[in-house]
Amino acid sequence: MSTIGYLHEIVDEFPYGVPAKASTPAAPYLFDKDDNGNLLGAEESKIFHQTVAKTLWAATRVRPDLLTTLSYLTCQVKEPGEDDMKKLMRMIAYIRQTINLPLIIGMDGSFKLKWWIDASFGTRYQIRSQTGATLSLGFGCVYSMARKQKLNTTSSTEAEIVGVHDAMSQVLWFRYFLIAQEIKISNNILFQDNQSAIILHKNGVASSSRSTRHINIRYFFIKDRVKTGEIEVIHCPSSEMLADYFTKPFQGRRFMELRSAIMGEEPREG
């Protein structure tokens, strides 16, 4: 079965009514959790869990535009509430509306791995931050990640450092994998939009100040990778930060711009 057929199966087998239209997979309040809401019954909870799991399979392969929404929904599968079901219904409506949306990926000939890694400070339940990361070889994004951070941070700079740590295993693995395929990688670039975080990435604890000296040293191992030339950290404006898509539920024009770049409708310079 094709992935489009698989998405049709998800939509057609979903037993509840969904909105007629949804231009984005999530509303702006995606990360807001209703603590006073009613929990779903056993059968509804099972359907919720199954639908989220099936959609996640498709999202990690060909529909990265769904990952931000799924980063929330996957955290609710143990005890989903009525509000969570409404958020799932909106995502199903969006899938139905964009079911033929393709993911187009390709290399631009530069042989550069271009990573965008970002964090949204304190946007998740219990003041957790959200990590977003995505990789492009020129056209579209071949790998994307949206994830709730596992610890609370005290500043946007600290959230950015933890976010890079969340993604570093993939950043290094992709480089090693392509080199093993005898593909000559010219550079492994990590784009960041936080200047303070960039300084800490390059200098480690040597550049820690009163507000950052508490950060665990394991989050600074990126300094060694910069020193060995395995990665290069470069600043990019927030307006060009592709990973921003995976840290918050955008709407309107900004959503369309980021989705277009991630799904391969336009090349990325850099």
Tens digit of each residue's pLDDT (9 = 90 or more) over 12-46: 999 999 999 999 999 999 999 887 779 999 999 99
Does the pLDDT of residue 122 top 90, yes or no? yes
**82-86, 122-126, 229-233, 248-252: least confident range:** 122-126
DSSP string for 122-155: T-SGGG--EEEEEEESEES-SEEEEEE-SS--SS
Provide the pLDDT confidence category of residue 220 given band limits of 50, 70 and 90. confident
Q: Is the distance from CB of 143 to CB of 67 less than 8 angstroms?
A: no
When comparing pLDDT for 149 and 207, which is higher? 149
Cα–Cα distance measured from residue 174 to residue 126, given in angstroms and rounded to the nearest whole number = 33
Query: Residue 127: which residues within 8 A CB-CB, separation 6 or more?
Result: 152
Q: What is the pLDDT of residue 140?
A: 94
What beta strand segments (E) does the chain contain?
A: 106-107, 112-120, 130-136, 138-139, 143-148, 187-192, 232-235
Q: Is the distance from CB of 34 to CB of 81 less than 8 angstroms?
A: yes
Region of residue 194 (left: phi > 0; alpha: psi -120 to 50; beta: else)? beta
Q: What is the pLDDT of residue 221?
A: 79
Cα–Cα distance measured from residue 199 to residue 207, given in angstroms and rounded to the nearest whole number = 7
Domains of the chain, CATH where assigned: 3-97 (no CATH), 106-262 (3.30.420.10)
Q: Is the distance from CB of 263 to CB of 63 less than 8 angstroms?
A: no
**77-81, 191-195, 205-209: least confident range:** 205-209
Query: Residue 102: which residues within 8 A CB-CB, separation 6 or more?
Result: 62, 263, 264
Q: Is the distance from CB of 88 to CB of 67 less than 8 angstroms?
A: no
Cα–Cα distance measured from residue 114 to residue 160, given in angstroms and rounded to the nearest whole number = 17
| 117-126 mean pLDDT | 92
Q: What is the pLDDT of residue 215?
A: 67
Both tokens of 87, joined, read: 């958020």
| 238-247 mean pLDDT | 96
Does the pLDDT of residue 208 top 60, yes or no? no
Does the pLDDT of residue 206 top 50, yes or no? yes
Q: What is the pLDDT of residue 135?
A: 98
Q: What is the pLDDT of residue 126?
A: 82
Residue 1: Cβ-neighbour burial (10 angstroms; 0-12, 13-18, 19+): exposed
